[in-house]
Amino acid sequence: MAQRTWTSDRMPSQAGRTVVITGGAGGIGLRAAQAFARHGAQVIIGARGETKARQAVAAIGPDAEWLPLDLADLASVERFAGRLTERGQPIDVLVNCAGVMAIPRRELTVDGFEKHFGTNHLGHFALTGRLRPLLKERVITVSAQSARSATIRPGNLQLERDYAPMRAYGNSKLANILFAVELNHHAPVLSLPVHPGTAPTDIQQYGSNRVTNALGRVIMRAVGQPLEYVADPITFAATTPDATADSYIAPTGPFELGGSPGFVKLPPAALDAGLRATLWRESERLTGVRY
């Protein structure tokens, strides 16, 4: 294995900074929260389940806090953002990390949106918009490798037709990238999409059966990113001085499966300004959140 040129341990001091992380109670979000806290940041995690969230806060350390957040419920998003807005505390880094993956049958959020699109994209779109006055430096939105093979069709954003689990997941992750790139035109912060490579995190909870789930995890462990490094693209994106508005950050090993984080090419769809604008307008209409 090639030597890593950058890990979260090389992150500069985060003392005096506030980092908000969705999905910080488990998986990549928890790893990122722990890394930021080790370097001195105050970390606020947004997550649904109280028991798991409190366990995560204990694992992160004394500078961590949990606030309830369900991205599949726009009212919950508004309450979470409202609590932070009442404090008036600037947010140095917002990490949009929470998500659902490959739900076997088409499900809807509380607000009637297809669950991948509603949770992974619309929830984060609404949250970022509501927190916009507090945002100080960077917004990091976590996508996935599957975005490269995804195709978003404006007339079928929520897959009312031709639903398939991985298609829905991939489309929502491409929407994450489109949103992250377009956000640079709508907020006075640097917005960066990242993907963490391939790793056996707890987002892979769905599958056709136990055998395929187990096989998938074996493959991920064999060729993907070790868990101790899954947060590196996030922490790199949050702190590198070399990032620009057209940057995309991911592992730089073969096929972007693992390796040190760095700059990779955006999917061609992310360069389509018309598609980005269409998705933005529809996201504003669906969520009622305008930037």
- Distance separating alpha carbons of residues 105 and 220, to the nearest angstrom: 24
The contacts of residue 238 (CB under 8 Å, 6+ apart) are: 11, 19, 36, 93, 95, 138, 140
Q: What is the 3-state secondary structure (H, E, C) of the chain?
A: CCCCCCCHHHCCCCCCCEEEEECCCCHHHHHHHHHHHHCCCEEEEEECCHHHHHHHHHHHCCCEEEEECCCCCHHHHHHHHHHHHHHCCCEEEEEECCCCCCCCCCCECCCCCEHHHHHHHHHHHHHHHHHHHHEEEEEEEECCHHHHHCCCCHHHCCCCCCCCHHHHHHHHHHHHHHHHHHHCCCCCCEEEEECCCCCCCCCCCCCCCHHHHHHHHHHHHHHCCCHHHCCHHHHHHHHCCCCCCCCCEEECCHHHCCCCEEECCCCHHHHCHHHHHHHHHHHHHHHCCCC
Q: Which of 169, 206, 229, 291 is catalytic?
A: 169
Work out the number of other CB atoms within 10 angstroms of the CB of residue 26.
20
Residue 135 exposed, middle or buried by CB count within 10 Å (0-12, 13-18, 19+):
buried
Active site residue 169: yes
Residues noted as catalytic: 169
